[in-house]
Structure 1
Amino acid sequence: MGKGFYISKTVGIVGIVLAAGALATITALPVVYSQEKSKNNEVKSTDPTMAPSNEPWDQWRLPQTLSPKIYNITLWPRLQPDPTGLYIFTGLSSVVFRCVEKTNLILIHSNKLNMTKHPTLIGLGGKPAPTIESIVMHTKTQYMAIHLKEELTAGESYELYTEFLGELSDDLGGFYRSEYYENGIKKVVATTQMQATDARKAFPCFDEPAMKAVFHITLNHDPATVALSNGVVIDEVNITVDDTLVTRTTFAPTEVMSTYLLAFIVSDFIFIEQDIENLQIRIFARQEAINAGQGEYALSVTGPILKFFEKYYNVPYPLPKSDQIALPDFNAGAMENWGLITYRETALLYDEEISSNENKERIITVISHELAHQWFGNLVTVRWWNDLWLNEGFATYVEYLGADEAEPDWNIKDLIVLNDVHKVFAIDALASSHPLSSKEEEIQRPEQITEMFDTISYSKGASVLRMLSTFLTEKVFTQGLQTYLDHFKFNNTVYTDLWEHLQKAVDSSGTTLPKTVQEIMGRWILQMGFPVVTINTATGQITQEHFLLDPETEPDRPSEFKYVKKYFEEKNPKNFITKYLLLISIKAQFTRYETEDTTGLTMMMKTGNAYLMFSRLQDSIPVINRAQIIDDAFNLANFQSPLKWSTCLCLEYFIMSTQLSLNYHIISYLQTYVGNQVKNLFDYFTRLTNWEDVPPGHTDQYNQVNALTVACSTGLEACMTLVKTWFQQWMENPNVNPIKANLRSAVYCSAIAAGGEKEWNFAWEMFEKATVASEKDKLRAAMACATEPWLLNRYLKYTLDPEKIRKQDATSTIISIASNVVGQPLAWDFVRANWEYIFNQYGGGSFSFSNLINGVTNRFSTEFELQQVCDLPQDCFIYFFDCHLVQQKLIFECLIYVPVLKTQLIQFRDDYAHIGFGSGTLAIQQSIERTTANIKWVEKNQKAVLEWFKNPS
């Protein structure tokens, strides 16, 4: 699955400016449709609150007594509401399974489905099947338990037939509906999102990834619509069903696959296509979007990326077609359904005039991620969700390789350091982090499975696999990968299976490793956290230890492995630094340098003006290492050294976008300082192009955007005049937007922050009229930049109304508001006041619940608007400054208020324990730990930092 939560690099570097383009969503629980329930008295329901037992239906994992082989499924979604106002679907399904061990119980997943006829069971081995004695629905564990009078015979095959009814709700899970307006007409799409445990909401099934089978799908639908599924269409005929004319579309049987990869869609979408070596590639979307050419870019890059992965995996693409479809309402960023990949519109559709360079990068990396899964994840699938990191971490790593193939001039492979490596450090440095791989028995319930879809699985998984590929060499890594895929195709694995094949590749290459691949990688996979390596540059001595944001905390999961101290003696320490400094920086993740002398690197950064320093850095140290050195320095050194180095940060996107983004919420006084640093860069682009031309290079475009973003966020008068002028011109002529696509996120945010109700209302009007998804996202994020509390409170209320803010965008909108210094306390109060409603309405299994909790608490360091803390003693204010983005209101750093926030977090956790936090349970603990660390950081560093800012040098 594509990453569901996305932070725009354009505006992510300043704490008081929103992280525009954040893509996250919250899932809604469907309403109870009791009037549609079956009247079959033989199907009973259990009380979900009853105490669990040792009975198999009270366990979260299926027993291994039955093995599915073939499903035959026919579904009929109604795209018009019934007389009660409900959207429903009806279906019938038969599953052929083999009895592995004799049993008198059939357990099959079924969630929120009502059986409209009594299920039937037949034997396929020449003798009749046992008689069904009773059927009980277990709503808590989501099973239909079929009790038999006699036992099934081991080795025999049987067929279970069911007919059922479900709601085609708007909850973004299972078989659901998406709505949109086109030319003033409301339209409905029936679509799916099965990962991780929602196939059971569409039809009764053995809904575990290892329970692979072949699926025969048939869809009944309105003749004016088109039906899609994993397979190609093999038959299409108009028939009458229940006095209604429908088109019956039958699809070719799938390959052997897991239930979570199924997809079926009914819509009136249209498509563009191309054939590449007899492979059909199609891009589907709303008619308006396709006609506007928004699918052209995705179509142009899909073929090259697919062909790259065929070569990379040394396995031909196993299907005859590759469909990709953009949906108005979608849970995550994208989903790798085999042969029918589903996307958010922002992750697939690109408009040359309106979408930004960043939007383009988002599209190509998400497409590459999902296409990578067609082999790694779909062809070969992890046995259970505890190894999710292998699926998602691998796809996250190679998405950069596939994107690089399609856009070779972008140097996009370097961006993994910024997007994933450095990002995950912040999470893995917590004592409440978790290992990449857990034990199967620890990941059982749906919300526990959902919780695995986090930054650790995606970004740390990608980082350690990139590290593994580097030290094995890419040639050896791909050789092992290829034999792994060939050996396990159409099957399931555990991650150690990959280590075995990589070890074989190592052995056959003649490479010598100090330990086996499994021994080396076990320390990275089975224990949480990462080591920090300390180098004494005077003696050459090296030691390492577990790096923790708060060294006084005890890890939640102490490991049997230890970060063993290592020592290296170099006769000439200066030669050691010259020869090995960069290598160690790459290999050791974090590196601390201890010396009494000023290193040559610091001297180089201090010499001359900023442009000269930038030039020397660019010539002498590779860009990835420049970013890493700065990141290490801000996390490990006393703040005087990295702050000295920061005098050249404003000149490069890669460095600028690393640690300043992580620490700005703690040391907000960086605003004035960074403003002074960025002025030269802002003036440079003003002289060079007067902001009219787009720089040719990919990262050069980010430099331009960052210059404008940072300059305006620090209140630079020339910048504010520029953005307010552009925005005013647009307001005067709404049909002609004068703002360049790359600059819109920054301009919209700054202009709305500097304005008031008039500017906000205009943005809302443009948001409602926008037909390009990326433009709607920019406006939606920018409206969270408002500085009038009543506007932000109104906006927060909009997130509870799907007619105003789509459910897929509710979480990211709240987080955007919380990223605003004025909006943070409002968002925190809003979430606490509405938690029961949010949790019950939007569901504890949402992929974005952890994002929501982390997002509204991330600024819990000290930064608040005056009104929030004005009743506290004045001597608690350690610093204040004029902030143009909040219309000259004073922003205060209040040390006393931080413990209050920690208390509120703990109280929040305790007050709503009876409701629960679903997939956000771990996020609560991480937020408390992060707040505690922030308190300690302020106590330790405030004096030194303030002194430095009084006299920067």
Structure 2
Amino acid sequence: MPLKPGLSKFFAVAFVILTVSSIAGMISLIAVFKIQLAGWNATSPIPTTTTTLSPPPIMRLPRNLIPESYNIFIKVELYTRIVEVVNVTTPNQTLSFSGNSTVNFHCAEQTRHIYLHSRDLRIFNLSVTNKSMGNSISINSYTSYKDETDFLKIELINTLLAGKNYSLFLAFQGELSENLNTLYVSKYTETDRSSENETTVERFLAATNLEPTNARSLFPCFDEPDMKARFKLTVIHRRETTALSNGDGQGPFLIGGDDDEWQYTVFEESPKMSSYLFAFTVSEFTSLKTPVGDVLSIQVFARPEATAAGHTKYAFDVTKKILNFYEKHFDLKYTPKKLYQIALPDLEPLAMENWGLITYQEGALLYEEGVSSWLHKEDIVSIIAHELAHQWFGNMVTMKWWNDLWLNEGFSSYMSYFAVDSVEPTFQIKDTLIMGVLHAAFEEDALASSRPLSAPVEEIQTAFDIHGMFDAITYCKGAIVLRMLADIVGEEDFNNGIRAYLKAFNGRNAEQSDFWKFIEHAKHKKSFFNVESFMNEWTTQAGYPVVTINTTNGETYQKRFFYNSSAHSDSLWLIPIQYMTAIAPPDFHWLDRRGPVKIAKFISKKGEWILANINSTGYYRVNYNPENWHRLLTQLEADLDRIPLMNRGQLIDDAFNLARAKQVNVTLALNLTRFLRNETAYLPWESTVRNLEYFIHMFDRSEVYGPMQVYLREQVKGLYNFLKNHTDNSTVPQDHSLQHNQILAIEVACSNGLPECIAMVKEKFADWMTSNSTKTNNIHTNLRSVIYCQAVAAGGKEEWEFAWEKFLESSDTSEKDQLRKALSCTKKTWLLNRYLEYTLDPNKIRLMDVASTINYIAENAAGQALAWNFIRAHWKYVSQGDPYTLLEGVTSRFSTKFELSELMYFVTNSEPMPPGNGAIEQTQVNIKWVGENKDVILQWFKRETAEME
């Protein structure tokens, strides 16, 4: 109900007196609102300075003050609808926010200085209060450091005493970001059906994105993960909008008085959490929600049109199942009273696990029946499973510092495999997810510039350092080493250790040594090995080993795997080796020395093959003597099912990567692809196609490419024909693995010139263009992405402009994503150049999609040089998203000294500085590899294809 107008004057007076009292919430809300409406022209009598010099050389906050709770009031000035005002040329939109906060803290050690974080905010009206005495502590001055510390230093006249509780009140103002960080503005369109003619109108919303260090840009705070506190928020927002936050909301309530434009929502206090998990949104979104009376309120918010069309239903249905799985698996209840998820048109990560309000990119949460690929459900359920795992790993138990970020992300990746397998067993994608993560980790960790999974604390200090931790090492290697540990100690003991760890550290912060102790305690084989000693080798050392086994004499040794054959490392690991032979069941052996060590178990008996690292449970590659490689190849060609499926994929991946590292002859890797003509399973095909992408990148501008295409075209014929009836009739198999293979078969067949494939995609795309007047698209949703791409590649201006028109007019997130990728597939350089220019216009290509769009274009041989020139000319704009992935993608074909010199010049002379170490090292590896292998590869493809054409 609205507040009574007669109380407004009382609240205005009470604001001055009671800001730090326990009843300040409602009172200060109204006063703040009144002050803000008047322009908030208050000034502070306290001297303030701004400096670029750092305080004493330390990047971390002192621990003499410990925050306990925040009471925050924020007014969001944003209009969700543009209103044209007569005789006014400037739209009514206002991109600013203002508010105040009271942080209550405990003094652990006496001090005259308060340090906290603040970035890009105007701060004023500061006051410090002794909570036990109720008296004010005078402030001498305060200083904002405009450097990497982001410190706000407040110098007091009197000393804060150890053991006492205090509060700091301050007011702040800031600007909404248009770059998807802190509190940012997002734009979308909806259909206006209020008149006879339907029109498309723009709508705006505000959302937060605070991980890892952006909370300090929203309000001054102790912005470090181990300085947890409870957060109570009140948001003042415009009428007809809904505010969401971590806690359950009460309201919205009208402000009252003469002004009917504003309302406010009061949110319950959050659980004790890190500042980066604080979140709120202001929008006109609607939701699908649980029935009234359910213990836990689950709601999924989205654009009103998306909610009405049922696009949130799949996410809604699967969320409760995943949550139930985790609660049973961890034997620990999800603690907040509600779980809201919201599909945002713009968000820099795919999703963010804010406690009680998880944010997602639309494509990561919305499933559009009849538009989305059936396989898109795999992506949605996997992402939701990852974010819900964070409610335990990250939210309940948080890493002490960002150097152990993998305790959040690696655990969430690992646990999501089991959640997905539990709630969607028919997908049968656990092995596919695991192998995808394993290979992503292998790729990143094979460079000399790689880093340890758990970096030394002193090396991760600045915001730049922290952002660098969000990579494949953290997410993928973290998950894979956990899988290895679980396999060694046994899943039951491993899960018991997890449960005990979560309960012991619930609401607290931990480091990896804490977790090792709980697994050590939980494992039954007490003398088997020491968990901490074993795991430290895998988490505190960069890279991973390759184990080489000579099956003629049993000699086995290990060394760190590098793509760069001249690189060297003294790293040593304790390696668990599960192995099998053609005549014996699986067995186990530890390798604890560099070697060579003679291991009798690894001597081949009667010339039979030996296969190590069964199901790829260990984080290492395996090499063999040529005779054993030949026996394995013979087995694959004779009876491939004798080799476990995951190992069929891994043998190919190991061989190709060992060839890149000059540890085996490249012809060995190519010979391993011969058995694929009889293979219909997805993992071996996926491994082959992914690894041959490197060959394509190195040689698609040379004479090697012609015979390579012929070979691939012939190899994929069997798989393409196996699925041809489905494809021609726009149907798909029920088996998810075969659905993936159907897409792969079309992509490989068409891109390598199989005539029947090209004819098929052109026909289906032409039918869609012809039937456009009836808006009928008969292409199966699973096949749209690949058919769109291959049809645009085989077509010209007409096909490209049709796809662009459909992209602009579509409001379906899934369809837009598929078309956005397809537009990059054209072979016409002038169209690709036009597309690149479109990425500079956020009305055409959203900022969050810029990096991936440019990388799509760079993936096309016709667009790579265009993309390279483009990012150099527009680096400041295009690098706002993910500069590392962008640079890595655009330079993936670099294999000449000239390209290397251009890259090095760009990295050292651009602002902001590109993260180019990995790209430079990879280019150096490419140059050497191409020089040493080009002629051998050319001759191999010529021999294999001599009788094919």
TM-score, normalisation: structure 1: 0.86
Query: 2:610, 2:628 within 8 Å by CA — same for their partners in 1?
Result: no
Equivalent position of 2:484 in the other structure: 467
1:161 to 169, 189, 198: 169
**Aligned: 1:134 with 2:141:** yes
Describe how 1:431-830 pairs up with structure 2 within 5 A. Answer: 431-506=448-523, 509-513=524-528, 515-554=529-568, 564-565=594-595, 567-570=597-600, 573-575=603-605, 581=612, 583=614, 586-587=617-618, 589-596=620-627, 599-607=630-638, 616-617=639-640, 619-636=641-658, 637-649=664-676, 651-662=680-691, 663=694, 664-668=696-700, 669=705, 670-687=708-725, 690-734=728-772, 735-830=775-870
AA of the residue aligned to 1:624: M
Question: Would you say 1:209 and 2:225 are equivalent positions?
Answer: yes
Query: 1:939 aligned to 2:947?
Result: no
How far apart, CA to CA, are the structure 2 residues paired with 1:688 and 1:534?
43
1:224 to 214, 230, 240: 240
Verify: 1:340 aligned to 2:357, yes or no: yes
Secondary structure at 1:297's aligned position in 2?
helix
Cα displacement string for residues 454-481 of structure 1 (whole angstroms, at most 9, x for unaligned residues): 0111111111111111111110111111
Contact 1:781 1:816 (C-alpha < 8 Å) held by counterparts: yes
Instruction: In structure 2, list runs of 5 or more residues that go unmatched.
Output: 1-38, 83-89, 192-199, 575-591, 659-663
* Structure 1 pair 269–298 and aligned structure 2 pair: CA distance change class (3 A): same
**Residues 520, 526 of structure 2: 8 Å contact kept:** no
Quote the offset at 1:836 in angstroms.
Answer: 4.1
Query: Whole-Å Cα distance in 2 between the matches of residues 511 and 569 of structure 1?
Result: 25
Q: Deviations over 1:866-925 (max 9, x none)?
A: xxxxxxxxxxxxxxxxxxxxxxxxxxxxxxxx111111111112222xx342xx52xx11
2-structure distance, mates of 1:41, 1:718:
79
SS in 1 for 2:697: coil
Higher gyration radius (CA): 2
Q: 1:346-378: per-residue Cα shift (whole Å, max 9, x none)?
A: 100001211113321110000000000001110
- Of residues 814-823 and 674-683 in structure 1, the stretch that sits farther from structure 2 once superposed is 674-683
Cα pair 2:189 2:202 within 8 Å, conserved: yes
Q: Residues 170-181 of structure 1: matches in 2 within 5 Å? A: 170-181=178-189
Give the Cα–Cα distance (whole angstroms) in 2 for the partners of residues 45 and 414 of structure 1. 57
Compared CA separation, residues 558 and 503, structure 1 to 2 (3 A) = closer
Deviation of 1:240 (Å)? 3.5
Shift of 1:756: 1.9
What is the distance in 1 between the residues matched to 2:753 and 2:739?
22
Report the residue type matching 2:714 in the other structure: N
User: Shift of residue 597 of structure 1?
Assistant: 6.5
Q: Which runs of 5+ in 1 are unaligned?
A: 1-34, 608-615, 862-897
The residue aligned with 1:951 is 943
The equivalent position to 2:905 in structure 1, one of 898, 904, 907, is 907
Q: 1:143: which partner in 2?
A: 151
Structure 2: which amino acid aligns with 1:185? V
- Which residue, out of 920, 926, 930, partners 2:922? 930
Whether 1:379 and 2:379 are equivalent positions in the alignment is no
Give, in whole Å, the separation in 2 of the partners of 1:769 and 1:243: 38
Matched to 2:541, the amino acid is: Q
Give the equivalent residue in structure 1 for 2:584: none
CA deviation digits over 1:144-178, x for unaligned, max 9?
A: 22111122111111111111211122221111111
- Partner of 1:94, secondary structure, is strand
Is the 1:94–1:159 contact (alpha carbons within 8 Å) kept by the matching residues of 2? yes
Matched residue SS, 2:224: coil
CA contact (8 A) 2:872 2:906 kept: yes
Deviation at 1:143, TM superposition (A): 2.4
Cα deviation, residue 733, structure 1: 2.3
Q: Secondary structure at the match of 1:858?
A: coil
1:858 alignment partner in structure 2: 892
Higher-RCO chain (CA-CA 8 Å, sequence separation at least 6): 1
Q: Aligned partners of 1:169, 1:36: CA distance in 2, in Å? A: 21
| Distance change (3 Å), C-alpha of 1:214 and 1:641 | same
Q: Aligned with 1:665: secondary structure?
A: helix
Equivalent of residue 352 in structure 1, options 357, 369, 380: 369
Change (3 A) 1:244 1:530: same
State the shift of 1:810 in Å. 0.8
Residue 125 of structure 1 and its aligned partner are, at CA, apart by 1.8
- 1:482 CA displacement: 0.6
Separation in structure 2 between the aligned mates of residue 425 and residue 395 of structure 1, nearest angstrom: 19
Question: How many residues are aligned here?
Answer: 852
Find the residue that maps to 1:643 and give its secondary structure.
Answer: helix
Q: In structure 2, what is the Cα distance between the partners aligned to 1:530 and 1:796?
A: 38
Distance 2:164 2:486 in 1: 45
- 1:504 partner letter: H
Deviates more, 1:179-188 or 1:75-84: 75-84
Cα distance in structure 2, aligned partners of 1:404 and 1:627:
20
Q: Distance in 2 between matches of 1:794 and 1:241?
A: 54
Query: Cα deviations across residues 384-411 of structure 1 (Å, max 9, x unaligned)?
Result: 0000112111111111111111111222
Q: In structure 2, what residue type is equivalent to 1:643? A: L
Query: Partner of 2:222: helix, strand, or coil?
Result: coil
Provide the C-alpha distance between the structure 1 equivalents of 2:833 and 2:258, rounded to a whole number of angstroms.
49
Identify the residue that residue 315 of structure 1 maps to in structure 2.
332
Amino acid aligned to 1:118: N
Q: Is the 8 A contact 1:207 1:260 kept in 2?
A: yes
Checking the alignment, whether the CA contact within 8 Å between 1:584 and 1:591 is kept in structure 2 is no
Contact 1:37 1:114 (8 Å CA) reproduced: no
Deviation by residue 1:759-794 (Cα, 9 ceiling, x = unmatched): 211111111111111111111111111212121112
Deviations 1:476-524 (A, max 9, x none): 1111111111011000011110001110101xx24542x3101100110
Q: Return the alpha-carbon distance in structure 1 between the equivalents of residues 526 and 209 of structure 2.
A: 44
Per-residue deviation, 1:129: 3.8
Equivalent pair of 1:585/1:629 in contact (CA under 8 Å): no
Q: Is the contact made by 1:585 and 1:591 (CA closer than 8 Å) also made in structure 2?
A: no
| C-alpha distance in 1 between matches for 2:169 and 2:794 | 63
Q: Distance in 2 between matches of 1:66 and 1:949?
A: 68
1:668-706 deviations in Å (ceiling 9; x for gaps): 433321111112222222245634221001111011111
Determine whether 1:46 maps to 2:50: yes
Q: How many Å separate the matches in 2 of 1:43 and 1:537?
A: 77
Q: Is the partner of 2:102 in helix, strand or coil?
A: strand
Q: 1:57-92: per-residue Cα shift (whole Å, max 9, x none)?
A: x64211112110010011111222897854111211
Residues 161 and 745 of structure 1: is their aligned pair in 2 closer, same or farther, counting only changes over 3 Å? same
Q: For 2:114, what is the secondary structure of its paired residue?
A: strand
